[in-house]
Amino acid sequence: MSHGVLEVDCLTKDFPGLRALDHVSLRLRSGTVHALMGENGAGKSTLMRIIAGDLKPTSGQVRLRGRACEFSGPRAALLAGIAMIHQELNLVPGMTVAENIWIGREPRTRLGLINHRELHRRTSSLLEQLAIELDPGVRLGDLGIAQQQMIEIARAVSWDSDVLLMDEPTSSLTDREVCHLFALIRQLKGRGKAIVYITHKMSEVFEIADEISILRDGRQVATAAADKFVPSQLVALMVGRELEQLFPKTAAPIGATALAVHGLSLAGVLSEICFELRRGETLGVAGLVGAGRTNLAETLFGLTPATAGQIHIDGREVVIDSPQRAIEHGIAFLTEDRKRTGLFPALSVLENIQIASLPRFTHHGFVHERALSSDCRQLCETLQIKVRDLDDVVMELSGGNQQKVLIARWLLTHPRILILDEPTRGVDVAAKAEIHRLMSQLASRGVAVILISSELPEVLAMSDRIMVMHQGRVSGVLERAEATQEKVLELAAL
């Protein structure tokens, strides 16, 4: 083992009224992956931001190659050899891949203008080196979220840093892309990089990490080599208590057909989708990114009305040409992108929950505040949303609680068909288990659930049936008993 490239010594960070980090120490060796685990709010991101020069510690020290460093900002840290890959993408959609990677340090011609040929050459060789098959000239906004993630990583690597900090890099990737990413990480390890890897996913940790540190409420509760841990122990350490089963699927009585879809098509995106969904049933939808899973959800919900095909709800044919119509028919849709299509960041928790149910609580245009807030309060209790006051701004909540607020929004509409698109993305283990338990509860109350998820174990555990999609078509349907990871992947990749 080589010596520590980066040493974090007794780092403490106080925010007003909150100690985010409490005497945390880490030692990163070159050529290793150090996984950092913990629930949302445990202090992982704060720690990363301090190492990356984005925040200043209250006390403690960061040493790079034995020398204490105090960065004036992220750029200083980058120049010293520490690059961070953010959980939320920090890219400019209107610029090309090449421009995004080299932004702020573009090669210049003698006249001081940007040398586009050199820019492209460097980008091509970088992408080739990382085995990312993308044209450097493509506008970033035209890429999928997974591809954008790859570009974010490529940019970090392009700084030729010794230390790479990855904050949940796989949260929007499918299994295949994760494999690709891991190959990339191993390659980087081989080149002697020290990598810090934040994740919630148990399977990933054991596959990629050499060492694991666990944070809880800002304190470091454990640090050891990865092979010293077993999964259940990790979960217990993170949460501070024993969790029940991770995916608590209970069998729900299956009722009459709630939703029947025949030949549903969306020009150029979906073709001839047929399936049935019954009350109390959970239909998992699996597939690679770009297979059309989210498009299917958006079409069922009227965001992109279908160009052909029929939708029957409770046996009656319906036309769903807008979300309003979908909500009237008892459909609810939890979208995959909390920030873009979910939350109203400036509004309160209460306002975020009530927004989709206002028609039910309106008389002569005026909103029945009292009835509404008592219903919301009750939902918050049922879902155990940790909020001090319903009037608090929703952005003050942790990711898991924000997700639960969005779930509450849709439950308040009393849905009969619930579409969940990546319901547990970016939430911690405890919140994840709660969301899973809730799904089971809803199913047993007769709600028909469509679960879209890129996390195969989740789909396999939570679904009664799994519909696999490939290039806008249904490539197969598997019953719960026969479904395995291999069979799903086979259908997804066809």
Partner 1 sequence: MSSPMNGIGSIRAAVRRRRWPAEFSIALILIGIAVVFELLGWVVRQQSFLASPERLIIIVLQVSIIGLLAVGVTPVIITAGIDLSSGSVVALSAMVAASLAQAAGTTGAVFPALTDLPALVPIAAALAVGAAVGVANGALVSYARLPAFIATLGTMVTVRGMARLYTHGRPVSMLTDSYTAIGAGARPVFVFFAVAAVFHIVLRYTRFGKYVYAIGGNMQAARVSGIDVNRHLLAVYSCAGLLSGLAGVMTSARAATGQAGMGTGYELDAITAAVIGGTSLSGGVGMVTATVIGTLILGVITSGFTFLGVDAYLQDIAKGLIIVAAVMADQYRRRQRRATGPLKAKEPA
Q: Rank residues 22 and 118 by Cβ distance to partner 1 and give the closer one.
A: 22
Q: Does 365 bind partner 1 (CB under 8 A)?
A: yes
Cα–Cα distance measured from residue 20 to residue 161, given in angstroms and rounded to the nearest whole number: 27
37 binds partner 1, rule: CB under 8 A: no
19 touches partner 1 by CB under 8 A: yes
Rg (CA), the chain: 24
Contact assessment for residue 261 and residue 276, using Cβ atoms and an 8 Å cutoff: yes
Does the protein bind partner 1 through residue 324 (CB under 8 A)? Answer: yes
- Site membership for partner 1, residue 268 (CB under 8 A): no
Which of 355/494 has CB closer to partner 1? 355
For partner 1, the binding residue among 322, 374, 382, 484 (CB under 8 A) is 322
Per CB under 8 A, 417 contacts partner 1? no
Closest CB to partner 1 among residues 351, 422: 351
Distance of closest approach, residue 229 Cβ to partner 1, in angstroms: 23
* Identity of the residue, 217 or 314, whose beta carbon is nearer to partner 1 in the bound complex: 217
Which one of the spans 119-127, 145-153, 278-286, 338-346 is the region binding partner 1 (CB under 8 A)?
Answer: 338-346
- The residue range among 73-81, 114-122, 346-354, 436-444 that interacts with partner 1, by the rule CB under 8 A, is 346-354
Assign 3-class secondary structure to the chain. Answer: CCCEEEEEEEEEEEECCEEEEEEEEEEEECCCEEEEECCCCCCHHHHHHHHCCCCCCCEEEEEECCEEECCCCHHHHHHHCEEEECCCCCCCCCCEHHHHHCCCCCCECCCCCECHHHHHHHHHHHHHHCCCCCCCCCEHHHCCHHHHHHHHHHHHHHCCCCEEEEECCCCCCCHHHHHHHHHHHHHHHHCCCEEEEECCCHHHHHHHCCEEEEEECCEEEEEEEHHHCCHHHHHHHHHCCCCCCCCCCCCCCCCCEEEEEEEEEECCCEEEEEEEEECCCEEEEECCCCCCHHHHHHHHCCCCCCCEEEEEECCEEECCCCHHHHHHCCEEEECCCHHHHHCCCCCEHHHHHHHHHHHHHEECCEECHHHHHHHHHHHHHHCCCCCCCCCCEHHHCCHHHHHHHHHHHHHCCCCCEEEEECCCCCCCHHHHHHHHHHHHHHHHCCCEEEEECCCHHHHHHHCCEEEEEECCEEEEEEECCCCCHHHHHHHHHC
117 φ, ψ (degrees, to nearest 5): -65, -45
Residue choice 67, 110, 241, 388 for contact with partner 1 (CB under 8 A): 388
Report, in Å, the least distance between residue 45 CB and partner 1.
4
Work out whether 197 is an interface residue with partner 1 (CB under 8 A): no
Q: What contacts 44, CB < 8 A, 6 or more positions away?
A: 36, 37, 38, 167, 198, 215
Q: Does 157 bind partner 1 (CB under 8 A)?
A: no
- Residues 466-485 within binding reach of partner 1 (CB under 8 A): none
Identify the residue among 62, 184, 326, 380 touching partner 1 (CB under 8 A).
Answer: 326
**373 near partner 1 (CB under 8 A):** no
Smallest distance from partner 1 to CB 347, Å: 5
Q: Report if residue 367 touches partner 1, rule: CB under 8 A.
A: yes
Of the candidate spans 92-100, 123-131, 156-164, 343-351, the one that interacts with partner 1 by CB under 8 A turns out to be 343-351
> Taking Cα atoms as reference points, which of 63, 134, 136, 45 lies closest to residue 98?
136
**Residue 362 within binding range of partner 1, rule CB under 8 A:** yes
How many residues at the interface with partner 1, by CB under 8 A?
55
Q: Which phi and psi angles does 137 have, rounded to 5°?
A: -90, 0
The yes or no reply on residue 430 touching partner 1 (CB under 8 A) is no
**Binder among 344, 444, 479, 485 for partner 1 (CB under 8 A):** 344
Binding mask 201-220 for partner 1 (x = CB under 8 A): ----------------xx--
Amino acid at 335: T
Interface pattern 63-102 for partner 1 (x via CB under 8 A): ------------------------xx--------------
Nearest CB to partner 1, comparing residues 77 and 456: 77
Instruction: Pick between residue 230 and residue 344 the one whose CB is nearest to partner 1.
Output: 344
Residues 6+ apart with CB under 8 A from 208: 33, 35, 182, 185, 186, 197
Cβ distance to partner 1 smaller for residue 81 or 426: 426
Closer to partner 1 at the Cβ: 40 or 271? 40
Choose the binding region for partner 1 from 41-49, 61-69, 430-438, 444-452 (rule: CB under 8 A): 41-49
The count of residues in the chain is 494
Binding mask 279-308 for partner 1 (x = CB under 8 A): ----------------------x-x-----
State how far the Cα of 474 lies from the Cα of 400, in Å rounded to an integer: 31
Q: Which of 351, 422, 434, 464 binds partner 1 (CB under 8 A)?
A: 351
For partner 1, give the closer residue by CB, 372 or 492: 372
Rule CB under 8 A: is residue 319 a binding residue for partner 1? no
Which residues contact partner 1 (rule: CB under 8 A)? 15-20, 40-46, 49, 87-88, 217-218, 301, 303, 322-324, 326-327, 333, 335, 340-347, 351, 354-356, 358-359, 362, 365-367, 369, 386, 388, 391, 393, 396-399, 409
